Structure 1
């Protein structure tokens, strides 16, 4: 044994990357824009007052979590929406909704019981 500690990079669940991507309004807007049709980097960046390298970082985050895909034809890189990863978020939110609806129903039943006892 060498006594050296090895530190593996933490494994980040895919849903965390998706939520990270969705946490930024610029990235959400890009996804909304790509919902209508694929677009080039310059078309996507046009509405924003930021340097192109900064905007490209947003696209890298979206592509990194699988929400968009890109292809390069000549000197033009075109992005398109890849909505399949949103299913992970949809499923997670549905579970949370079910959990909280059940909890609220239980609270409602408890409050009704208290009300009946006090009347």
Structure 2
């Protein structure tokens, strides 16, 4: 389960009334004065950048591995370590992409909930 979906977010009732405490921001790093939608948009952007970085690292690892495979067969043993690195970075990139989409969905939902109030 992604870490974004594990954060408890209060919901309003069907009439659009806010929760009793008056604050819609329940995430642990969200300050009480900032809107919840802004928190989720920032989190979504962070996940996008982290996912992009992991995809770049995976691409570089594959390119270096193929270059070693073609040019210097004597370095093949250390270059084999790049394969698990590339696989791990691809998995991390997919995880970040999924969390980014979830964060943007929460941002849209919370913005819609803020407009209704």
TM band (smaller chain): 0.3 to 0.5
More helix by share: 2
TM-score by length of 1: 0.37
Q: Which has the higher contact order (CA 8 A, sep 6+)?
A: 2
User: Which is greater in Rg?
Assistant: 1
TM-score by length of 2: 0.38
More strand by share: 1
